[in-house]
Chain A
């Protein structure tokens, strides 16, 4: 498995589900718009006072980790894991 640390700011399309949960559905990376096939896992973390929402999303044979900074509502693509 190859792990690549990215740390790039990215544009993300996300929807709020009926339950109120946020679900990323696509993100722009490397000049392409990648459709999220499945959110495989999500978790929360804090950086000081700021709550960070993390999402592991599957696109083809790759899992990307997206992170939403809830204070600035900015998304970052943290790393990718290739099978």
Chain B
């Protein structure tokens, strides 16, 4: 219970206490007759959810498969097999649209605990190759093998041995990239899918980047790419040569980062488990089973979301004072507003009271497809300020403990009990954390 925690809370060291810093860049390594700043191996699990499902249900192999948020709910495609992609199906698109594009697709409901278990198996294997393993998402890892790759020979040998373990022992296809930094290793991993292994040596970076479209770099999407194109930087080579003054004038402090990206420079150290940065915000969104026009149901659903966000805040030992509420109408028009409070909150009703008024009043009239709430400007290990808060805090902590012991939803606010079919829970998206 966070209010009385004096040691590690969920494996996270307290602020101000001793905590290991990020792994430094170190002296680098020699490989292939070249100096490598670091040897980073990036692992991208190919169609991860689909392939985990195919391990459990072998007949899915080689078939067009969609893994969707929920069978009951209208939801989005969480993952799709390569066989569906030739029909234009992409992860993140509404599942109805994906089914329209690929009518023969086999639809499988997502089972997150199954995938979490699978990635933990992969992480355990990764630790045989280096202690510095960064989990960048539920289906991507980065390994800093600068000081360990020689045990297997070259960086390619090291990556190949790891890939073999994942593919043969765990039965999961994956693509790997090896490069002197994480950004370029990720780009390399994306070059050959599925089951590829691409090594980009330091001396190969410049010619490789010369013709690479800037939008192929992680973090440069279509919109930013369009801005860069107008500045004359369609490729990474052009981006790297743009004068810093022009980039800074257009993008501010991000100008430095963009120029580095164009040159293939990424100085960020890998963050191993124990180095995870403090969270910047905690939030949840929900895509409703159907467009909802019932204002009372929307209010209840939003309160449920706020309770969920607050429980996650408390679970991680945070409170926050900036709330953000977002709603998406059936025509996909999205409205979002934030508000800074004068005090910190970590209780569901407090988050709700601050966030609900930020949403438009006409939600029930226009209908809602998606709702979301997040809390930022976080403070770690905050304590209640007065006697009343201490009492309420103890009460909340007891509820949290009961829910932890008996499972989420063991105790809920009475207002939330009716009208929330189980399907709603299945469609909630939250940032995944190795926990």
Contact = CB atoms under 8 A, between A and B. Distances in A.
Interface of A: 1, 3, 40-41, 43-50, 54, 56, 58, 61, 63, 65, 81, 83
5 contacts: A1-B108, A41-B114, A47-B406, A47-B407, A48-B403
A-B pairs, top 7 by smallest CB distance, nearest first, are A43-B117, A56-B56, A48-B407, A41-B56, A45-B113, A47-B407, A48-B406
Interface of A is mostly: strand
Nearest to A41: B56
Contacts of A83: 57, 59
B161 interface: no
B220 interface: no
Nearest to A39: B56
Contacts of A40: 55-58
B189 to A, nearest CB: 25
Nearest to B402: A48
B55 A41 contact: yes
B382 interface: no
B118 A43 contact: yes
Given A1-B106, A1-B108, A45 B56 contact: no
A63 B407 contact: no
A49 B406 contact: yes
Contacts of A56: 56-57
B227 interface: no
A56 B118 CA distance: 14
B122 to A, nearest CB: 13
B404 A44 contact: no
B168 to A, nearest CB: 16
Scoring B52, B56, B107 by chain A CB atoms within 10 A of each residue's CB, the highest score goes to B56
A46 B404 CA distance: 10
Contact of A43 (B60, B71, B113, B404): B113
A46 B106 CA distance: 28
Contacts of B404: 48-49
Given A40-B58, A56-B57, A49 B405 contact: yes
A11 B52 CA distance: 27
B410 interface: yes
A70 to B, nearest CB: 14
B109 interface: yes
A81 B56 CA distance: 10
B410 A3 contact: no
A58 B55 CA distance: 11
A45 B113 CA distance: 6
B392 to A, nearest CB: 23
Nearest to B406: A48
Contacts of B408: 48
Given A40-B55, A47-B406, A48-B407, 18 more contacts: A1-B60, A1-B106, A3-B108, A3-B109, A41-B114, A43-B118, A44-B117, A45-B113, A47-B407, A48-B405, A48-B410, A49-B404, A49-B405, A49-B406, A50-B407, A56-B56, A61-B59, A83-B57
B65 to A, nearest CB: 9
A12 to B, nearest CB: 17
A50 B410 CA distance: 13
Contacts of B114: 41, 43, 54
B52 A41 contact: yes
Interface string B393-404: 000000000011
A63 B60 CA distance: 11
Nearest to B403: A48
A43 B119 CA distance: 11
Contacts of A47: 406-407
Nearest to A81: B57
Nearest to B114: A43
A49 B406 CA distance: 6
Contacts of A1: 57, 59-60, 106-108
Contact of A3 (B55, B60, B71, B118): B71
A65 B111 CA distance: 12
Interface in B393-435: 403-408, 410
B57 A63 contact: yes
A54 B114 CA distance: 9
Nearest to B117: A43
Nearest to B63: A1
Contacts of A44: 113, 117
A75 B134 CA distance: 36
Contacts of A45: 113, 117
